[in-house]
Amino acid sequence: MMLERTLVLIKPDGVQRGLSGRVIQRFEDVGLKIVGMKMKWIDASFSKTHYAALVSKPFYPGLEKMITEGPVIAMVLEGLHAVELVRKMVGATEPKSAAPGTIRGDFAHHSYAATDKEGRSIKNIIHASGTLEESKVEVALWFGPSELFTYKTVHEMHVF
Ligand code: DAT
Ligand code: MG
């Protein structure tokens, strides 16, 4: 089985825009299993750990400001090829370039051109682990073992 777990965050802009329900619905519709979920308001230090690979980028200060400006909804989704599947559903980093049908493409149209001059982060609603290796690090950073649950869904009988 290619069962994987991946970390998804509905970022402050997604939470504040009231998009959480519709975003979560898409993941449930495709048959992914929610195995962990919570709301968390992270600080600058946690942002630097989560975005460790990006701390030296010119846009990092804006990214930190954006990700700490309100609470996020964090979840761990489980399913076949979950990392790749969720990235496909999330779409490209820049909402302007993200394909229609993806979360970023359907719910935003923000562009690098609009943010770069001002040193702001692009607002793209959602974070999802980029690779299986990244997902393991991120799930362990955001969730303790007692916050992750094992149970059966109908998809395990009819979709897998
Ligand atoms: P992704 O979130 O698609 O995995 P990433 O890991 O490269 O993209 O970057 C993390 C976040 O940082 C991204 O969701 C939005 C912001 N960001 C990335 N590149 C940016 C840029 N050139 N200008 C402004 N914000 C950027
Ligand atoms: Mg990334």
pLDDT of residue 21: 98
Q: What is the pTM of this model?
A: 0.96
CB 58 within 8 A of CB 119: yes
- In order of their start, the domains of the chain are 3-148 (3.30.70.141)
The CA distance from 84 to 98, in Å, is: 16
Q: What values do phi and psi take at 32, rounded to 5?
A: -70, 145
For ligand 1, atom 24: residue with the closest CA: 121
Token pair of 44, please? 């600058």
Which ligand 1 atom is the nearest neighbour of the CA of 120?
A: 24
Contacts for 136-139: CB closer than 8 Å, 24+ residues apart: 138/7, 138/50, 139/5, 139/6, 139/7, 139/36, 139/76
Ligand sitting nearest the alpha carbon of 13: 1
Token pair of 47, please? 């942002």
Instruction: Work out the number of other CB atoms within 10 angstroms of the CB of residue 65.
Output: 14
The rounded Å distance from CA 54 to ligand 1 centre is 8
Pick the catalytic residue from 50, 109, 110, 127: 127
Say if ligand 1 is within 6 A of residue 63 CB: yes
Say if ligand 1 is within 6 A of residue 124 CB: yes
Say if ligand 1 is within 6 A of residue 60 CB: no
**pLDDT digit string (tens) for 9-57?**
999 999 999 999 999 999 999 999 999 999 999 999 999 999 999 999 9
Mean predicted lDDT score pLDDT of the chain:
96
**Residue 160 reports pLDDT greater than 80:** no
The CA distance from 128 to 138, in Å, is: 9
Average pLDDT of span 136-149 = 98
pLDDT of residue 115: 87
The CA distance from 107 to 96, in Å, is: 10
Say if ligand 1 is within 6 A of residue 111 CB: no
Catalytic site includes residue 127: yes
The rounded Å distance from CA 28 to ligand 1 centre is 25
Token pair of 116, please? 């770069």
Say if ligand 1 is within 6 A of residue 46 CB: no
* Length of the chain, in residues: 160
Q: Which residues contact 63 (CB under 8 A, 6 or more apart)?
A: 47, 51, 54, 57, 121
Average pLDDT of span 111-137 = 93
Number of H helices, E strands in the chain: 9, 4
Token pair of 101, please? 């049908």
